[in-house]
Amino acid sequence: MKRRDFIHQTSAASALIGLGGFGLSSFSSATKKITILHTNDVHSHIDPFGPEDGRNPNQGGVARRASLIESIRAENPNTLLMDAGDIFQGTPYFNYYGGELEFKLMSMLKYDVATIGNHDFDNGIDGLYAQLPHAKFDFVSSNYDFSNTIMDSHVKPYRIIEKDGIKVGVFGLGIELYGLVDENMYKETKYLDPIETTQEMTRILKQQEHCDLVICLSHLGYKYSRLPEKISDLSLAEKTKDIDLIIGGHTHTFLKKPTIIKNAEGKNTLVNQVGCYGINLGKIDFYFDANKNKSAEGTSIIV
């Protein structure tokens, strides 16, 4: 029997027993694994870069990403797929179809949730709204107040997804639009303070809803060396608590590996971003142990 089969079957067995808890201390059998896959700033890059491309030859492509995601899901059905915004703008596909194809393909790839980037307003808030029927996934944004816009009620502040008995809370943060996007485009979208919003979101998701995992889909940008006071994923991670993972975007930052940041409570928060244009897929595996004896131990992070 292969090891993978062993884990599959035992976790199925534990599900059968019914979450009551059991005292098996020496078995890894009660381990649950949640895989988070993520992209950001794909910018309408549907086709791969050609072999002649000066920067990214033969990289990316939605059809390849689909195969990759499919193989990861086959290995672990408890997989969630997310995007951190700037889905739109960057190839003629956007100029011709206004984002329809991007949303349709993300739906076919079974994205679960996405947040909104500044370029997603490039055809105006009406242009974004017009493409929503093509998106069979949810948008989360907790610091854009859309109540005076056409997007009202079409974007949730957060979403809770349960996989294999693990509650995953996902909320979204967008970048300040003033000065970045033409006001005629975002209209009466109100930008709320990301830190205050995060405190509210983590209170709901952690204290109230008891989520096992809290993920922030952020389009704030990784960091701003020249503007240290400008809010970024790294400063957000430092100044808040109860976030396990920040999936970032906006700055098109290619990281060799996820960054580990000590949060306001001195606990570890992971910040990741995978560059842009669908060149990379981020993959973060969270392993949960239902074993009570181990719960006093910390979390090991392998990046």
Partner 1 sequence: MNYRPLFFVLFILAFSACKTKNHLHKIEGKQINVSDSIAADQRIEAFIKPYRERVEKDLDSVLAYSVATLSKSDGEYNTAIGNMMADAVYEEVNPVFQKRTGKSIDFVLLNHGGIRAIISKGEITTRTAFEVMPFENSIFVAELKGDQIKELIDYLVIEKRAHPISQLKIVLNADGSLKETSSKEKPLNYTKSYFVATNDYLLSGGDRMNFFKVNDSVYDLNYKVRNVLLDYFKKTDTLRPRIDDRFIKIK
C-alpha distances (whole Å) from 265 to each of 182, 238, 262, 287, 297 are: 38, 9, 7, 22, 17
Q: How far apart are the first and last CA of the chain?
A: 29
Residue 245 · residue 272 · CB < 8 Å: yes
Residues 232-271 touching partner 1, rule: CB under 8 A, are 244, 255, 257-258, 270
Q: Which residues touch 71 (CB under 8 Å, ≥6 apart)?
A: none
Residue 294 binding partner 1, by CB under 8 A:
yes
- Supply the minimum distance, in Å, between the C-beta of residue 218 and partner 1: 16
Number of residues interacting with partner 1: please give it, by CB under 8 A: 81
Of 104 and 156, the one with the shorter C-beta distance to partner 1 is 104
Residue 288 binding partner 1, by CB under 8 A:
yes
Of 47 and 193, the one with the shorter C-beta distance to partner 1 is 47
Q: Contact region for partner 1 (CB under 8 A) — 66-74, 75-83, 125-133, 141-149?
A: 66-74
Residue 66 binding partner 1, by CB under 8 A:
yes
Q: Which two tokens stand for residue 245?
A: 């993972």
Distance (Å, whole) CA 198 – CA 243: 9
Q: Which two tokens stand for residue 108?
A: 């076919």
- Supply the minimum distance, in Å, between the C-beta of residue 196 and partner 1: 26
Pairing mode, if any, of strands 158-163 and 166-173? antiparallel
Residues 163-182 touching partner 1, rule: CB under 8 A, are 165-166, 182
Residue 84 binding partner 1, by CB under 8 A:
no
Of 152 and 182, the one with the shorter C-beta distance to partner 1 is 182
Near partner 1 by CB under 8 A: residue from 123, 197, 198, 272: 272
Near partner 1 by CB under 8 A: residue from 73, 104, 134, 241: 104
* Burial class of residue 132, CB neighbours in 10 A (0-12, 13-18, 19+): middle
Residues 24-63 touching partner 1, rule: CB under 8 A, are 24, 27, 29, 31-32, 46-48, 58-63
Q: Long-range contacts of range 101-105, CB-CB < 8 Å, 24 or more positions apart?
A: 101/46, 102/42, 102/44, 102/46, 102/131, 103/131, 103/132, 103/134, 103/135, 104/134, 105/46, 105/62
Of 104 and 187, the one with the shorter C-beta distance to partner 1 is 104
Residue 287 binding partner 1, by CB under 8 A:
yes
Q: Which two tokens stand for residue 303?
A: 């990046």
Residue 133 binding partner 1, by CB under 8 A:
no
- Supply the minimum distance, in Å, between the C-beta of residue 129 and partner 1: 19
Q: Contact region for partner 1 (CB under 8 A) — 13-21, 78-86, 128-136, 147-155?
A: 13-21
Q: Which two tokens stand for residue 16?
A: 């059968």
Near partner 1 by CB under 8 A: residue from 83, 85, 93, 237: 93
Distance (Å, whole) CA 6 – CA 76: 13
Residue 206 binding partner 1, by CB under 8 A:
no
Residue 22 binding partner 1, by CB under 8 A:
yes
